Amino acid sequence: MVLSPTTLFLISIIALVVGILSVIAGLGGGVFIVPILTVLFKYEMPIVVGTTLASTTFISLVGVIGARKRKEIDFKFAFAFLIPATISTFFGALITDMIPEIILLSILFSLALLLSIRMLLESRKKKKLGIKTYRRDKIQELKKEKKEQEEHSHKIAFFARFHYPWLRPFITIKRDEYEFKISIPVIIVFGLLIGFITGLLGSSGGWLISPLMILGFGYTPIVASGTSLFIILIKAIVGGTTHVIQGHFDMILFFVLSVFLPIGGFIGDLIKRRMKNRIVGLILGFCLLGVSAVILVFYFIL
């Protein structure tokens, strides 16, 4: 497909903005890029999905490098989630053609809308914290606020309450002066469910993983975002390679996305360094609201 300079410019700007928001919120970006390119720029869906997933590798890598340096990735959770999620994603993809597209889109719209409302409501309950300041007289106050955020995240978590002996083994989540335990079997079930849903819908799943890590397992938004990006990176490498082998790939589009998504991701990572959990949670909530709006407008209205 030959692209005009104007089209290239517009796609570049879209990729830049999506890259910024994706790294902050812990999303892959494809949930925005795919419908926009398909509806507005008339790309074929398989080409967009394959090319976007392949280019997501680079933006995820940018986010993961920054998150790793700041210790914002829980690798135990990530690997306990990834193995079952990868298996169930395959089975979800197998039955996608058996389910009408309107049902799949309705599921996607409903999940995004419900999660956005829950995230925004929970973020509003937290004390307004704003952006970090690093003056010495604020250090103790910041530590206290961070501990309060972690305790609040654990209190609203659903799956973190499952401490029955028959749900062993557990992994311990340590956050400064606060810690709690999560059942590995529960994480595996969670991975199977999310993997199956993302397999059905053909997405990397970041828009589901981040909010459910927060609401389901008690992670703070910043750690959920970093861990989600790591999971997306692995899934993007596997899924992107598969699509390229199948020929679902556009070299020009890949080049544009591979340049501007990571640039946006780098900017997003710089911004995220100075953000508090509440702000990251709000951005994630609004991104999910944006996902539901994109689906409603591009798939049900246009």
The predicted model gives 141-166 an average pLDDT of: 55
Interior angle at CA 243, CA 21 and CA 237, nearest 5 = 55
Distance CA 153, CA 83 (A): 25
The yes-or-no verdict on residue 56 having pLDDT over 90 is no
How many folded domains does the chain comprise? Answer: 1
What pLDDT, on the 0 to 100 scale, is given for residue 84?
Answer: 92
What pLDDT, on the 0 to 100 scale, is given for residue 78?
Answer: 94
Percent of the chain with pLDDT over 70: 80
- CA dihedral for 263, 264, 270, 272, sign (positive or negative): negative
A 10 A CB-CB count for 63 gives: 34
The yes-or-no verdict on residue 213 having pLDDT over 90 is no
Range of the domain at 111: 5-301
DSSP bridge pairs for 171: 182
The yes-or-no verdict on residue 139 having pLDDT over 70 is no
pLDDT tens-place string over residues 233-260:
988 888 788 778 888 889 999 999 999 9
The yes-or-no verdict on residue 93 having pLDDT over 50 is yes
What's the distance, CA 32 to chain centroid?
12
Distance CA 142, CA 223 (A): 17
